[in-house]
């Protein structure tokens, strides 16, 4: 490492939140990329069925889905946008993708809440590192390269309900990791 981290350095709320978001992004990136591929195929089929090659975003059940090839292209500000509804023949595929997206959003929110609970009392980088579950280590670089001073990451959790939710989150991290490994 070119730059050494001071594990005794204090960590503020903004840094914790940013690190948690980065961990979640790292954990979910593979699954999100695969999900985006499904969205791209759905939109390609929509464009073919409607014979409108310029439609790169569709609306389905109040949610917008955009083709990744065109995500960087933005509508000029102030200009009204009309987003077409997904072609009716693609309803079943659209429903499956919509439900997957809802599940992903829900799991990300759960991960964020649980990691926030785990790291709530962390005052230093070392505390933050010790509070992270082992299943997050590969996604929390460079912090996770440092040794733990406390082995049980759930030492700060006293409520049984939270402990069960945290165990579920650890299983979820493992599932995301296995999906990534199996896909490579």
Residue 58 lies in a domain: yes
Distance between CA 165 and CA 15 in Å, rounded? Answer: 24
Residue 6 lies in a domain: no
How confident is the model at residue 118, as a pLDDT?
84
How confident is the model at residue 78, as a pLDDT?
67
Listed ranges 41-45, 68-72, 143-147; the one with the highest mean pLDDT: 41-45
Band the pLDDT of 24: cuts 50, 70, 90: very high
Helix, strand, coil shares, percent, the chain, to 5: 60, 5, 35
Q: How confident is the prediction for the chain on average, in pLDDT?
A: 85
How confident is the model at residue 149, as a pLDDT?
86
Mean per-residue pLDDT, 143-150 = 84
Residue 46 lies in a domain: yes
Residue 45 lies in a domain: yes
Phi, psi (rounded to 5 degrees) for 63: -120, 140
Residue 8 lies in a domain: no
pLDDT at 72 over 90: no
Residue 3 lies in a domain: no
Total domain count, the chain: 1
How confident is the model at residue 1, as a pLDDT?
41
Distance between CA 6 and CA 80 in Å, rounded? Answer: 50
Residue 4 lies in a domain: no
pLDDT at 131 over 60: yes
Residue 86 lies in a domain: yes
Structural domain range at position 51: 13-183
């Amino acid at each position: 490492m070119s730059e050494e981290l001071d594990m005794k350095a204090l960590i503020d709320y903004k840094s914790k939140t940013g690190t948690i978001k980065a961990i979640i992004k790292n954990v979910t990136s593979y699954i999100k990329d695969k999900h985006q591929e499904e969205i791209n195929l759905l939109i390609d089929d929509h464009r073919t069925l409607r014979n409108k090659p310029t439609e790169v975003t569709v609306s389905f059940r109040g949610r917008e889905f955009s083709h990744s090839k065109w995500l960087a292209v933005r509508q000029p500000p102030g200009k009204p946008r009309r987003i077409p509804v997904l072609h009716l023949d693609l309803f079943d595929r659209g429903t499956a993708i919509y439900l997957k997206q809802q599940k992903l959003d829900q799991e990300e929110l759960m991960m964020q809440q649980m990691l926030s609970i785990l790291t709530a009392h962390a005052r230093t980088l070392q505390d933050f590192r010790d509070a992270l579950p082992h299943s997050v280590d590969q996604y929390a670089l460079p912090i996770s390269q440092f040794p733990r001073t406390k082995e049980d990451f759930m030492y700060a959790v006293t409520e049984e309900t939270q402990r069960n939710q945290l165990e579920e989150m650890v299983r979820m991290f493992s599932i995301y990791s296995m999906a990534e490994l199996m896909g490579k």
